[in-house]
Structure 1
Amino acid sequence: MSTAGATTIESLLDLDSLLSEEDRDLRTMVRQFGEQRLRPHIAEWYEAGEVPVRELAPEIGKLGLLGMHLTGYGCSGSSATAYGLVCQELEAVDSGLRSLVSVQGSLAMFAIHRWGSEEQREQWLPGMAAGELIGCFGLTEPDFGSNPGGMRTTARRDGSDWILNGSKMWITNASVADVAIVWARSQDDDRRVVGFAVPTSTPGFSAREMTHKLSLRASVTSEFSLDDVRVPDDARLPEAQGLSGPLSCLSEARFGIVFGAVGAARDCLEATLDYVGSRQVFDKPLAGYQLTQAKIADMAVELAKAQLLALHLGRLKDEGRIRPEQVSVGKLNNVREAITIARQCRTLLGANGITLEYPVMRHAGNLESVLTYEGTSEVHQLVIGEALTGVSAFR
């Protein structure tokens, strides 16, 4: 079936008209990097459950994508919208690759940039921006995910040092990281939450990669333990006071997911459109059936709405007006719609949809994790519910 002159997903609502030429050029550059450097290997990495983080990070750093929305210390200070578009293009290849950039820039680097000392910024950020140093973000614990306030990891004063004990779980890049942002509960100051930039070479720090995953297989997921890890006071993030520190970092990461989920959904739909145009069923293309077109139309409309929401939130963030509940709206809606699109696309690909020859099942599997991390759907529903009613339902 000829598709000459067919409307593309992006041209359906002329969404490119909402972007600056600079943003479009950046998107094109990252898309080309994804197609040429990442996509040829992603199925292999996913199937093997391995990804060459140490090899990829410097390449991504050379493109200026690590911590790109931060200013100074080797970071370009780009707009939030530009950063979102980068997340979108990386996740169009695989959620794990977007996670690499998101955890490095929006969690580990942002924590140091926003809450660290000048000395910490100069020590860590240039190398992290270049991809020469890898960071991870240790908040989630085996028994405390959605309730970080219940964390059991402790920090105890010992003279001019701190002694850290505890464990963190589901931590991206921890087993390959040079520095871990560790959040702990102080035993010396009303059990307030404090943060530290801990070199992973510190005695007592150990990490191991988590295996047997059925999602985010092209991503390094680890757990790490702190066994009487001694760090000087200058490893503490001095500006972080209480849970506002780690929660602000999570809001940064969630923003990237708002755009990233759009990329995963778009890749599913593009692959499906190509497939149904060539797949012959009962002597005509699958694309020529009304039920096929109804599914495609519904998915395209939801995808366009998700893209518009992401761009709107990007504008709000660029203007410094975005609120946490607005990020929750974006994360809740866009991931929920993306996983619905992935599942629907799989139905159109039939049995072919479960193979790694096509990206759909891989995206669907990844989105199961994206639906959960950086706040489950239920958490974001409660954030939005509290904003609308003025009543907290968390407890």
Structure 2
Amino acid sequence: MSTETTLPGADFYLFETLLPAEEREILDRARVFLREEVKPLVNEYWAKGEFPPVLIEKFRRSGLLALSYEGYGEPKTATSKLLSGMLAMEMSRVDASVATFFGVHNGLAFYSIYAGGDQEQRDRWLPAMAAMDKIGAFALTEPLGGSDVSGGMRTTAKRDGDTWVLNGAKRWIGNATFADYVVVWARDEDDNHVKGFVVEKGTPGFVPVKIEGKVALRIVENAEITLTDVRVSEDNRLQNVNSFRDVAEILRLTRGGVSWEALGTMIGAYEHALAYAKQRQQFGRPIAKFQLVQDLLVKCLGNITASWGMVAQLSRLQDQGVFREDQASLAKAYVTSRMREVVGWCREILGGNGIVLEYEVARYFTDSEALYSYEGTREMNTLIVGKSITGQSAFV
């Protein structure tokens, strides 16, 4: 056996062994699928700034859909949140845009209907989403509202008999350019509470326009959406959502997924930087033999290992039903901060090649900036945790 195959990988503390054998098999299958079917597409479409439609068909055939939802997808019984997290990690390890596309569809959109809809709505929409015959999107952020959208949502909903009329705008909505179902959050003009609506593709007055010029998550097709007298039926209002508190519950459960994506981004950058260091020759020897390069690699591995421990325990708490918002916020703030450090060190190891797409690390380096900000900035998540540990709110 060669020395190469005996070297430890990014899972330095063997966190994958926390999964039962059957779930490790699913993870292994996902890893092969992502490496063989997805990775060859990534750089081409990242450079184009386009989403590859063939990716949907590839995921459809993969058998990796809706694994963590009881009664939907395969297997029919829900798998653990720990496995769901590691699957998000594996996707982001290949490409953060792919993980984001999947997280928006299978996490934010799917879970909004799963948790916020009644049984009739779940039966109406989720089987097609679980099979990826229909794609979902999640429209919360607005052009003038991000962190303050809970109290300052400008998109409105007005009841008119058996229909609702939606007006306003949303921004940074992933998948929205091609999604079949978009979960739109709007403030009810009558009671001032936030409610959720499933707006179906082609509804008059609903216009998504792709945001151009992004330097991060370029495969994700984010859109700015305008809603002009968009009429949706009462049957398309999520029946179990009555205030922003219900929206916050959905975000609480999906925020942990972003932490896993940040971990995967770290791992992907680290693995490429490590491989580069072992083959790049300077002064007659590989740069992996230099002390300063080894120092950077070890600091990367330390951040990866600490973050993996945090998010693994977070998912286990979720599986046990004792998972809290402040725990999700601490993970999002901490892991994305460590990710920023890792991708910077990896770019440093590659020198000038660290900004060239061909060498992969540049993609992780730029994509990390989006993960650092979305689903709650570091500052907002810090204030959530700060309130939890001090009992004092610093929100203004």
Q: Same fold (TM over 0.5)?
A: yes
Q: Measure, in 2, the Cα distance between the counterparts of 1:121 and 1:63.
A: 23
| 8 Å Cα contact 1:136-1:173 kept in structure 2 | yes
Instruction: Say if 2:70 is the partner of 1:68.
Output: no
Q: In 1, distance between residues paired with 2:81 and 2:88?
A: 11
CA distance in 1, matches of 2:296, 2:338: 13
Q: Aligned residue for 2:45?
A: 45
Q: Which residue of 1 aligns with 2:147?
A: 146
1:161 partner letter: T
Counterpart position of 1:15:
15
The alpha-carbon deviation at position 200 of structure 1 amounts to 2.3
Matched, 1:254 2:255: yes
Q: Which amino acid counterpart does residue 369 of structure 1 have in structure 2?
A: A
Q: 1:130 to 1:58 in 2, by over 3 A?
A: farther
Superposition map of 1:139-288 within 5 A: 139-149=140-150, 150-189=152-191, 191-288=192-289
Structure 1 residues 300-339: Cα deviation after superposition (integer angstroms, max 9, x where no partner): 1111111111111111011111101111111111111112
* Contact 1:198-1:235 at 8 Å conserved across structures: yes
Runs of at least 4 residues off by over 6 Å: none
Residue 67 of structure 2: SS of its match in structure 1?
Answer: coil
- Measure the CA separation in 2 of the matches of 1:245 and 1:64: 30
Q: Give me the whole-angstrom Cα distance separating, in 2, the residues matched to 1:105 and 1:358.
A: 30
Q: Distance in 2 between matches of 1:288 and 1:310?
A: 32
| Distance across 1 between alignment mates of 2:87 and 2:11 | 19
Rounded to whole Å, the distance in 1 between the matches of 2:4 and 2:197 is 56
Report what 1:59 is aligned to: 58
Deviations 1:91-124, CA, capped at 9 Å, x for gaps: 0111110011111121111111111122211111
**Is contact 1:175–1:208 with CA below 8 Å preserved after alignment?**
yes
- Equivalent position amino acid for 1:13 in 2: Y
Q: Report the alpha carbon displacement of residue 11 of structure 1 after superposing the two structures with TM.
A: 5.2
Partner of 2:297: 296
Q: For residue 238 of structure 1, what is the amino acid of its counterpart? A: Q
User: Equivalents in 2 of 1:321, 1:94: separation in Å?
Assistant: 31
Task: Tell me, in whole angstroms, the C-alpha distance in 1 between the residues paired with 2:259 and 2:83.
Answer: 13
Contact conserved, 1:74 with 1:125, CA < 8 A, in 2?
no
- Encode CA deviations 1:191-242: one digit per residue, 9 max, x unaligned: 1111111112211111111111111101111111111011111111111011
Point out the more displaced range, 61-70 or 76-85.
Answer: 61-70
Residue-pair matches, total: 392
Determine the structure 1 residue equivalent to 2:389. 388
CA distance in 2, matches of 1:15, 1:136: 31
The AA in structure 2 aligned to 1:159 is: G
Q: Does the 8 A contact of 1:73 with 1:122 survive in 2?
A: no
Counting only pairs closer than 5 Å after superposition, residues 86-101 of structure 1 correspond to structure 2 as 86-101=87-102
Q: What is the alpha-carbon distance in structure 1 between the residues aligned to residue 318 and residue 163 of structure 2?
A: 38
Match of 2:129 in 1: 128
1:25 aligned to 2:25? yes
Q: What is the rounded CA distance, in whole Å, between the counterparts of 1:224 and 1:204 in structure 2?
A: 10
Alignment of 1:110-121 (within 5 A): 110-121=111-122
Secondary structure in 1 matching 2:177: helix
For residues 219 and 97 of structure 2, the distance between their equivalents in structure 1, rounded to whole angstroms, comes to 5
Please list every run of 5 or more consecutive structure 1 residues that lacks an aligned counterpart in the other structure.
none
Q: Deviations over 1:327-375 (max 9, x none)?
A: 1111111111112111101111111111111221101111100100000
Specify every segment of 5 or more residues in structure 2 that has no aligned partner in the other structure, as ranges.
none
Contact 1:112 1:120 in 2 (8 A): yes
One-letter code of the match for 1:48? K
Q: What TM-score results when the alignment is normalised by the length of structure 2?
A: 0.96
Q: d(CA) in 2 for partners of 1:315 and 1:212? A: 39
Give 1:299-378 correspondences, 5 Å limit.
Answer: 299-378=300-379
Identity of paired residues, percent?
37
For residues 65 and 249 of structure 1, the distance between their equivalents in structure 2, rounded to whole angstroms, comes to 21
CA drift of 1:139 comes to 0.6
Task: Give the match for residue 34 of structure 1.
Answer: 34
**Matches of 2:268 and 2:100, distance apart in 1:** 17
